[in-house]
Structure formats: structure tokens, C-alpha cells
């Protein structure tokens, strides 16, 4: 081994200069981190969340099968039930991860929003279509960016949760009331069948989405209200896929309120 000791410093440096360098780009690091965070998010799912996913897949899959095997002139066309299936599954994972403050939710939320918008356009539900594309889609992208900039110190796949002060609660309540009155006036002018209910649901949904972007836990108080209305609506009109989906949303809104309340306690500075 003594002959190795005879290598000069010049030879050693020359060998280092000629050795190939392997670099991992920042984009590769970011991609790996995102995959790790996604894997962590899936691992965090509870048994009852997987049960709800299974129920959603079964209901949406059965609806898709019936559309192909027994098509009806007044029902969803077969291709649309495929989109409904995608929307149902992605929507479930979105709200499961969002209820845990996981940043991974936005990828599934983006797919869900776009697919649901196609469903609304097909059935000429232009008001809700406009809401999805002009409000929820941009907010989804903006929230993705905002949450990524405020990660939890102990669990990097999560964002920090904040809480509203009392005066902010009052401001939010006033905005909802004013928005409801304005939107009710618009819906009444264009012949809406349930203008007060529609107006309140839309106003609360938009404010809840804004609170989600700003990472406030109180968003889930509003989501519970909108989900109760949505479940009642789909019971009345009976759409099994969306009734199941909105029922799951309601359950997870309650779970989300509990999770975000706990998570906010860790954010002492409320930033």
C-alpha cells in the first residue's frame, strides 16, 4: 500500500478534475420532494377514509357501467359517466388531503374542477360552470402557491393553519350577507328558481375558498354549511354519484374543522 502514498498532490488534483461530476438539478429535487409528500399524504389516510373511497368508486363505477350497458335518453351519456368517475375519485382525495392541510390536495382538486366543469357545460349549467372556471380554478392554483410558501415546520407536506380574530369573523359575516343580497338580486333578475338558497350557497362557497387560500381554519365552518345544502339538494334531485360525493364532503368538512383547529395550535405566531 506504500506506493499509494507516493501519489503527488498534483496527480491527485488532476484526477479530481477529470472525474465526472453528477449533479441533481433543483427541479429534480423538487419533483422528488413532491412525490415524497404525496406518498406521506396517502400513508396518513385513515381506514374510514379508504372505506369512503371504496364506496365512492363502487357507486361511480356502477353508474358508469349502467350508462354503457343500459343507456337512457334523459340520463348522462356514457362518456360523461367516465368523467364523473374521475371527478368523484379525485374529489375524494382532494378533500381528504385538504382536511389534513396537505398541499398534495391541489393536484387532485385541479383535475376535479376541470372535469366537473365539463359536466356542467354539457348540461348547460352555465352559472355554476362560470363559478368553477372563474373562481374555483384560479383560487385552486393560487392556494397551491400560497400553501407551498407556508409549510409546517414538523410536517413539510402540510401547510400552516391560521385563525381569524373576532373582528375578522364579523367582517367575514358582513361580506357573506352583502354578497348574498347582491347575488340574490342578480339571480332574481335572470329567473332563478331558488335565488336566496343559490345566492347564499355561492356567497359562502366563494368566501370559504378565499379563507382556504389564506389558510384560515374557519373555512370549514362555511364548508359544512354549503355541504349540508348540497346534500339536501342531491337528495331532492337524487343523483347517486353526487349525493355520495357530497355526503363524503360533509363528513370530511367536520373532520377538517377538527384537524385544522389542532394544527392551528402549533402556529403560535398565526402567520
Domain boundaries, the chain: 45-266
Angle subtended at Cα 257 by Cα 173 and Cα 98, rounded to the nearest 5 degrees = 105
Confidence grade of residue 264 (pLDDT, cut at 50, 70, 90): very high
- Cα separation values, 122 from 4, 79, 108, 111, 244, Å: 76, 11, 22, 17, 21
**Stretch among 37-51, 57-71, 238-252 having the lowest mean pLDDT:** 238-252
Percent of the chain at pLDDT above 90? 49
Angle at 251 between CA 246 and CA 257, to 5 degrees: 120
pLDDT for 194 equals: 63
What's the whole-number mean pLDDT along residues 165-175?
95
pLDDT of residue 209: 93
Q: Give pLDDT, residue 27.
A: 53
Q: Of 102, 107, 69, which is closest to residue 90 (Cα–Cα)? A: 107
Query: How deeply is 180 buried, as exposed, middle or buried, from its count of CB atoms within 10 A (0-12, 13-18, 19+)?
Result: buried
pLDDT number for residue 241: 79
Q: Is pLDDT above 90 for 57?
A: yes
DSSP 174-236: HHHHHHHHHHHHHHHHTT-SSHHHHHHHHHHHHHHHHHHHTTBTTHHHHHHHHHHHHHHHHHH
In this prediction, residue 220 carries a pLDDT of 96
Amino acid at each position: 500500500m506504500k506506493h499509494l502514498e507516493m501519489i503527488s498532490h498534483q496527480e491527485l488534483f488532476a484526477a479530481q478534475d477529470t472525474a465526472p461530476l453528477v449533479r441533481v438539478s433543483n427541479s429534480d429535487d423538487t419533483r422528488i420532494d413532491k412525490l415524497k409528500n404525496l406518498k406521506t399524504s396517502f400513508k396518513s389516510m385513515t381506514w374510514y377514509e379508504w372505506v369512503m373511497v371504496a364506496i365512492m368508486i363502487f357507486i361511480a363505477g356502477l353508474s358508469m357501467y349502467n350508462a354503457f350497458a343500459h343507456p337512457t335518453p334523459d340520463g348522462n351519456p356514457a362518456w360523461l359517466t367516465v368523467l364523473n368517475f374521475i371527478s368523484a375519485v379525485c374529489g375524494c382525495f382532494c378533500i381528504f388531503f385538504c382536511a389534513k392541510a396537505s398541499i398534495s390536495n391541489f393536484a387532485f382538486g385541479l383535475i376535479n374542477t376541470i372535469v366537473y366543469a365539463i359536466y356542467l357545460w354539457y348540461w348547460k349549467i352555465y352559472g355554476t360552470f362560470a363559478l368553477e372556471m372563474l373562481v374555483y380554478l384560479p383560487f385552486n392554483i393560487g392556494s397551491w402557491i400560497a400553501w407551498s410558501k407556508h409549510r409546517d415546520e414538523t410536517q413539510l407536506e402540510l401547510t400552516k393553519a391560521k385563525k381569524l380574530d373576532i373582528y375578522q369573523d364579523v367582517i367575514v359575516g358582513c361580506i357573506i350577507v352583502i354578497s348574498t343580497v347582491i347575488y340574490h338580486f342578480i339571480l332574481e333578475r335572470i329567473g332563478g328558481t331558488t335565488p336566496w338558497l343559490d345566492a347564499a350557497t355561492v356567497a359562502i362557497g366563494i368566501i370559504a375558498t378565499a379563507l382556504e387560500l389564506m389558510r384560515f381554519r374557519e373555512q370549514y365552518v362555511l364548508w359544512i354549511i354549503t355541504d349540508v345544502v348540497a346534500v339536501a339538494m342531491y337528495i331532492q334531485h337524487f343523483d347517486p354519484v353526487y349525493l355520495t360525493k357530497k355526503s363524503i364532503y360533509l363528513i370530511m368538512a367536520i373532520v377538517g374543522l377538527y384537524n385544522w383547529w389542532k394544527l392551528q395550535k402549533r402556529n403560535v405566531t398565526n402567520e
